[in-house]
Amino acid sequence: MSERAPRPHEAESHRVVSRPNTTFKPRRRGLSPTRQAQFETWLQRWGLDDHGEMLDWSDVFAAGTAAVVLDIGFGHGEATIAMAGAEPDVAIVGVEVHTPGVVNVLDAIEHTPLPNVRMVHGDVLRFLVRVPSASLSGIRI
């Protein structure tokens, strides 16, 4: 009996393809030109990148902010906005991929105002590497 040659898919079966983990299925829809401009301006002012150096919360928030809460996947942000207004001494970092929801919270930060809130437009798994160990008072999902 002769040995058969491996098929192309069998020969490559030992390869491992590394894919980044994600916590979401992106839902993107376009914004109007006016809203897009507001989004970009507000995100520059109130946003945190999902990648970069380790954060120091005292550099991100005003002095005297003792508690920092991570709010993951807040959707349109109604609960985030309500909690931020009810607890002005708690710093909230909202992480969301849904652009209209991020814009909604950014609008509230600008117009309510809510200086105790920062936004991350991206995946929480990428952002977590920027969060110092044992630096959060809570996580809301």
For 38-72, b where at least 16 C-beta lie within 10 A, e where not — what string? bbeebbeebbbebeeeebebeeebeeebeebbbbb
User: Which pLDDT does position 15 carry in this prediction?
Assistant: 46
User: Which pLDDT does position 5 carry in this prediction?
Assistant: 63
**Tens digit of each residue's pLDDT (9 = 90 or more) over 12-31:** 545 454 556 665 555 556 88
Entry pTM:
0.80
Given a cut of 90, whether residue 63 has pLDDT beyond it is no
Given a cut of 80, whether residue 76 has pLDDT beyond it is yes
**Tens digit of each residue's pLDDT (9 = 90 or more) over 92-119:** 999 999 999 999 999 999 999 999 999 9
Give the pair of three-digit tokens for residue 8: 């192309």
